[in-house]
Amino acid sequence: MDKRLVSLIQRAVQSPQAIFPFNASWQALHHEYNIGAPLGNRIRLDERDKAELVALVRQIAGLDLRTASVEEFADLDRHEALRLGHQEKWAGRPVGARRLLLKALPGRPLRIGGQSLPLPSRGHLDIARDAVEGLDHEAVIVVENYACFDRLGQMRLVLDGRWANAAAVYRGDPHASRTDDVLGFLRAQALPVLALVDIDPAGLVIAQTLPGVAGLLAPPLPVLDGLLGQGNPELCRKQRPGAEQSLRGSPHPFIRQCWALIESHGAGVAQERWLQGDVEVVVHRLG
């Protein structure tokens, strides 16, 4: 009995109605369990039928529709789903949800929970978001793309002061270090944030909407101008409609400068370009 079929049963047993369309799902249920009374292209389910359906779902799926619902699985992971029934695969939360990927800057340890953790150059800490305590860093760098997070040591990052003591977090994807978890982490830490993003419309929108954002990491403006002149027009064409209004009226002068360059060249440049190591990546202050 799959989740879709249980949802159909749930809607029926919770409805005050007794007559329902006799679709393929109800036909299969009636054929196998002889529950309900067909009436042409409809089926009648009286209170006894509904009670039998509740018992059937409880027996097969372990879910008691009198006290729980299929929708409750949406925000559960697999082990939490077992509290409601036998169907851990119904869990709606991805395996990587509520977890973060963290690392320190190249050559430095990650200081967290009173410990100093030396990590390999292309290693990181995979940790539950609610287990992050005692992050002993002065800033956080949010890295948009995984390849850049993984190979952070290949970039010529020019960082001093508090930025030299930053931790880095992967902004995430649907499977790891998800964006909603990263945003919650940034709000909880309340540290200054640097954005390491693609210099394209979507990347600039990401940068200016990060909680606590204080700067953007990118090549110096004249170098960036030259790189955009050799950039990817598709990054601008596809992303421009959803970002133009936000960027044109950005409260950050540097964001507006970047947007003007993107517009003039009609192109964007991905942050993976910085991995080639032939350009310096510096802090451009926002605000």
pLDDT digits (tens, 9 = 90+) for 28-57: 989 999 999 999 999 999 999 999 998 988
**The pLDDT of residue 159:** 96
**The pLDDT of residue 81:** 39
Q: Which residues pair with 100 in a beta bridge?
A: 127
Mean pLDDT score of the chain: 88
Highest-pLDDT range among 72-76, 213-217, 237-241 = 213-217
What number is the average pLDDT over the span 194-215? 96
* 261 shares a domain with 197: yes
What number is the average pLDDT over the span 258-286? 95
182-194 exposure pattern, b = at least 16 Cβ within 10 A, e = fewer: bbbbbeebebebb
* 192 shares a domain with 69: no
* pLDDT single digits (tens) 169-178: 999 887 778 8
Nearest C-alpha neighbor of 42 from the set 25, 22, 28, 26:
22
* 179 shares a domain with 261: yes
- Answer yes or no: are the C-beta atoms of 100 and 90 closer than 8 Å: no
Between 47 and 8, the more confident residue is 47
| 71 band by pLDDT with thresholds 50, 70 and 90 | low
Domain boundary among 53, 72, 90: 90
* 139 shares a domain with 246: yes
* 169 shares a domain with 247: yes
Name 77's Cβ contacts closer than 8 Å, sequence gap at least 6: 91, 93, 95, 97, 98
What number is the average pLDDT over the span 47-73? 80
**The pLDDT of residue 97:** 62
| 70 band by pLDDT with thresholds 50, 70 and 90 | low
Judge whether residue 84 has pLDDT over 60: no
* 106 shares a domain with 84: no
* 29 shares a domain with 140: no
* 144 shares a domain with 82: no
* 236 shares a domain with 191: yes
Nearest C-alpha neighbor of 170 from the set 112, 202, 125, 215:
125
Rounded Cα–Cα distance for residues 237 and 240 (Å): 6
Residue 18: φ, ψ to 5°: -120, -15
* pLDDT single digits (tens) 9-30: 888 888 999 999 999 999 998 9
The CA distances from residue 160 to 68, 198, 282, in Å, are 54, 22, 10
Domain boundary among 46, 66, 90: 90
Judge whether residue 94 has pLDDT over 80: no
* 182 shares a domain with 222: yes
For residue 20, the enclosing domain spans 3-90
Domain boundary among 49, 64, 90: 90
Name 260's Cβ contacts closer than 8 Å, sequence gap at least 6: none
* 131 shares a domain with 270: yes
* pLDDT single digits (tens) 151-163: 999 999 999 999 9
Total domains, the chain: 2
* 103 shares a domain with 80: no
- Looking at residue 238, which CATH number applies to its domain? 3.40.1360.10
pTM over 0.85: no
**The pLDDT of residue 129:** 86
